[in-house]
């Protein structure tokens, strides 16, 4: 499933850019349409944060199996009801948009469903298959989430070649000061396995 990088002037690259532009225009909002299988992805009731992370991992695994994007998944859930209100997978490559990380996709899904940019303020958490990058940590701040839980670490993603950006200790410390609870390493071994499966299938590293 590895996609060879094409030169910016090749017909293949131009065609792929045209396909991406069509995908982007599909929603009519400038946002890329999520992978089709995501519409029927089961959203079971959650028991706890570890359950939410397990579902984020399932999304990452499915994204690899369906060949619809990178090995990352994320879930937004209500902390009181433990209900899933948003799901997302990494579609950076297929959309041609560098911001389309799983976490951002899940937040877009959740805020669209829940009613706006402040709909998740207080009482919602984000569960991720991997430690969020600096951009996604910033998005957690702006969405005013109260909890972050994740499986694999930045180092696990970098081990197979992903560039995870600059360190994030200051941002995490800032989130914690604001009362965000951060839970690391849930289902860590399964999180590592997701990256190993992606590497074995020669998935694109970007
Ligand atoms: Zn990110």
In angstroms, what is the span from residue 143 Cα to ligand 1's centroid?
14
Active-site annotation holder among 66, 67, 93, 103: 103
C-alpha of residue 139 to centroid of ligand 1, in Å: 9
Asked if the model's pLDDT at residue 12 lies above 90, the reply is no
193 C-beta neighbours (distance < 10 Å), count: 16
Mean pLDDT of 6-35: 61
The answer to whether 28 and 87 are in contact (CB under 8 A) is no
Mean pLDDT of 195-202: 93
Check if 196 is active-site. no
Residue 6, pLDDT > 70, answer: no
In angstroms, what is the span from residue 12 Cα to ligand 1's centroid? 28
Per DSSP, helices labelled H in the chain are 11-25, 49-65, 92-95, 102-114, 134-143, 154-159, 169-177, 188-200
What pLDDT, in 10s, does the model give residues 65-99?
999 999 999 999 999 999 999 999 999 999 999 99
Q: How high is the pLDDT of residue 167?
A: 73
Smallest CA-to-CA distance from 41 within 95, 108, 109 is with 109
The overall average pLDDT reported for the chain is 89
Q: Is the pLDDT of residue 161 over 80?
A: yes
The answer to whether residues 66 and 41 touch, using CB atoms and an 8 Å cutoff, is no
Q: Which residues surround ligand 1, an ion (CB under 5 A)?
A: 101, 133, 135-136
pLDDT confidence of 126, banded at 50, 70, 90?
very high
Cα(177)–Cα(27) distance, rounded to whole angstroms? 37
Confidence (pTM): 0.86
| pLDDT at position 8 | 41
- Whether the predicted pLDDT of 2 surpasses 50: no
Own/partner long-range contacts of 92-97 (Cβ < 8 Å, ≥24 apart): 92/206, 93/3, 93/69, 93/204, 93/206, 94/20, 94/23, 94/32, 94/35, 94/68, 94/69, 95/20, 95/23, 95/24, 95/32, 96/17, 96/20, 96/24, 97/24, 97/32
Ligand 1 center to 4 CA (angstroms):
23
What is the predicted pLDDT for the residue at 20?
57
In this prediction, residue 21 carries a pLDDT of 54
Of the listed ranges 8-17, 62-71, 177-186, the one predicted with least confidence? 8-17
Q: How far is the CA of 9 from the centre of ligand 1 (A)?
A: 29
pLDDT at residue 63, as a whole number: 97
Contacts of 163 (CB under 8 A, 6+ apart): none
In the reported structure, the alpha carbon of residue 100 is separated from the centroid of ligand 1 by a whole-number distance in angstroms of 8
Model confidence band, residue 7 (pLDDT cutoffs 50, 70, 90): very low
Band of residue 19 on the pLDDT scale cut at 50, 70, 90: low
pLDDT tens-digit readout, 44-54: 999 999 999 99
Q: Please tell me the distance between residue 11's alpha carbon and the centre of ligand 1 in angstroms.
A: 30
Q: Is the pLDDT of residue 140 over 90?
A: yes
């Amino acid at each position: 499933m590895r996609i060879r990088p094409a030169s910016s002037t090749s017909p293949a690259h131009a065609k792929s850019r045209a396909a991406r532009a069509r995908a982007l225009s599909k929603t009519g909002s400038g946002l890329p349409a999520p992978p089709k299988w995501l519409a029927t992805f089961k959203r079971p009731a959650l028991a706890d944060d570890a359950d939410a992370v397990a579902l984020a991992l399932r999304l990452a695994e499915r994204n690899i199996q369906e060949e619809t994007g990178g090995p990352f998944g994320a879930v937004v859930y209500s902390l009181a009801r433990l209900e899933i209100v948003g799901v997302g997978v990494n579609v950076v490559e297929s959309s041609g948009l560098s911001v389309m990380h799983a976490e951002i996709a899940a937040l877009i899904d959740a805020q669209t469903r829940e009613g706006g940019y402040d709909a998740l303020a207080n009482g919602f958490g984000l569960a991720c298959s991997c430690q969020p990058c600096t951009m996604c940590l910033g998005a957690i701040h702006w969405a005013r989430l109260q909890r972050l839980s994740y499986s694999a670490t930045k180092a696990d993603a970098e081990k197979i070649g992903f560039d995870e950006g600059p360190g994030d200790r200051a941002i995490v410390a800032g989130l914690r000061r604001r009362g965000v609870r951060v839970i690391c390493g849930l289902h860590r071994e399964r999180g590592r396995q997701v990256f190993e499966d992606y590497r074995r299938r020669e998935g694109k590293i970007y």
